[in-house]
Amino acid sequence: DDKVTIGVSVPAATHGWTGGVNYFAQQAITRLSETYPNVEFVFASSPDSPKQIADIEDMVSTRGIDALVILPGDPDAMTSAIKQVKDAGKFVTVVDRQLSIDGVENLYVAGDNPGLGANAAEYIKSALPDGGNVVILRGLPIPIDQQRFDGFMGSIEGSNIMVLENQFANWNRDDGFRVMQDFLTRFPEIDAVWTQDDDISLGAIEAIKQAGREDEMFVVGGAGMQQIIQAVANGDPLTPVDVSYSPAMIATAIELTTSHFTGGIQVAGRYILDSTLITKDNAEQFLDADSPF
């Protein structure tokens, strides 16, 4: 019996980026199911860690999976549960987020969260050589946000860039709009905004436009949302760059895992997808008309 079942577990689409993850995962599953009729996929999308653990437990005990591709919502909380899947003899691919003990996964397909922050910081430093004021709109208080924030702050340290304030905007547009409005009220001089996420950027941009201050500052987001990349490509001065952090990495991970079983090639090790700076020059290669993100 060469039937293979692969479980795919991702966090629920609670904001734009995870929405993208859900979309790309399901797209990859549809595509690969057609190509490989002997591979069956089980997909689950979970709002929190206990639920995600429950989902992978169910995959093992009721769906008899052979491999698990997982983007853990909270890697620290998920580590021991993922280890149990591994201990049960399943092939494990971890995506994006590093587990808290090494050597659990067979394959690691990762984005670079500190790099996302550092890239943005480097660009802001170069764009404001004489120094300037930056406000930060953060995501939710979870580890990824902290890593990005630390990456940014580490990189900005020692420069003449002044971070005025940071606040959580919960990775959504409404809160991006709300927090940015208040920052605009509070700070008469802002040169750059780092939102670390394009959903937040979209809200912040509306607030900046409303205040009529779009000529004073620019916004650096992250994650590579189509709408922002398009603006970068168009040379919009408000969004001169973006930092890639594509949710499509989940598709890469699913493909690699599938080929482990179908292609007869041993897949293992670490695949790090860099957070690259998207500029007017390279924006074209990041555009994808079909992506919902």
Partner 1 sequence: MSVSAPEIPAKTTSRFKWDLKTIGPLAALALLVLLGITLNENFLTYNNITNVLARSSFIGIIAIGATFVITAGGLDLSVGSMAAVIAGVMIMVMNWLIPVFGIGWGVILAGMAAGVLLGGVAGVGNGIMITRGRIEAFIVTLGTMGIFRSLVTFLADGGTLSLNFQVADVYRPVYYNGFLGVPYPILVFALVAIAGEVVMRRTAFGRHCAAIGSNEQVARYSSINVDNVRLITYILQGVLVAVAVLLYVPRLGSASSTTGVLWELEAIAAVIIGGTTLKGGYGRVWGTVAGVIILGLIGNILNLQSFISPYLNGAFQGVIIILAVLLQRPKRAS
Residues 196-255 that bind partner 1 (CB under 8 A): 199, 202-203, 206, 210-211, 227
CA–CA gap between residue 37 and residue 187 (Å, rounded) = 59
List Cα–Cα distances, 226 to 140, 161, 174, 205, 229, in angstroms.
Answer: 22, 29, 19, 15, 5
| CB hemisphere CA count around 239 (13 angstroms) | 31
Which region, judged by CB under 8 A, interacts with partner 1, from 103-111, 134-142, 231-239, 263-271?
134-142
Binding mask 163-192 for partner 1 (x = CB under 8 A): --xxxx--xxxx--xxx-xxx-xx------
Tokens describing residue 36: 């490989």
CA–CA gap between residue 169 and residue 197 (Å, rounded) = 10
Size of the site for partner 1 (CB under 8 A): 72
Q: Could you tell me which of 100, 99, 82 has the C-alpha nearest to residue 91?
A: 82
Do residues 40 and 65 touch, judged by C-beta distance below 8 A? no
**Identity of the residue, 42 or 92, whose beta carbon is nearer to partner 1 in the bound complex:** 42
Strands of 91-95's sheet in order across: 39-46, 4-11, 67-70, 91-95, 107-110, 269-272
Question: Whole-number minimum distance, CB 126 to partner 1, in Å?
Answer: 27
Binding test (CB under 8 A) with partner 1, winner from 39, 71, 81, 92: 81
Binding test (CB under 8 A) with partner 1, winner from 6, 23, 125, 249: 23
Binding test (CB under 8 A) with partner 1, winner from 31, 122, 146, 163: 146
Q: Could you tell me which of 132, 154, 216 has the C-alpha nearest to residue 180?
A: 216
| Residues of this chain, 31-70, that bind partner 1 according to CB under 8 A | 42-45, 47-51, 53-55, 57-59, 61-64
| Residues of this chain, 101-120, that bind partner 1 according to CB under 8 A | 101
**Identity of the residue, 15 or 90, whose beta carbon is nearer to partner 1 in the bound complex:** 15
Under rule CB under 8 A, residue 154 binds partner 1 = no
**Identity of the residue, 168 or 271, whose beta carbon is nearer to partner 1 in the bound complex:** 168
Helices 113-127, 143-156: crossing angle, 10 deg rounding? 30
Question: Whole-number minimum distance, CB 275 to partner 1, in Å?
Answer: 19
CA–CA gap between residue 32 and residue 124 (Å, rounded) = 40
Question: Whole-number minimum distance, CB 202 to partner 1, in Å?
Answer: 7
**Identity of the residue, 73 or 115, whose beta carbon is nearer to partner 1 in the bound complex:** 73
**Identity of the residue, 37 or 264, whose beta carbon is nearer to partner 1 in the bound complex:** 37
Do residues 149 and 118 touch, judged by C-beta distance below 8 A? no
Question: Whole-number minimum distance, CB 142 to partner 1, in Å?
Answer: 6
Binding test (CB under 8 A) with partner 1, winner from 72, 73, 114, 151: 73
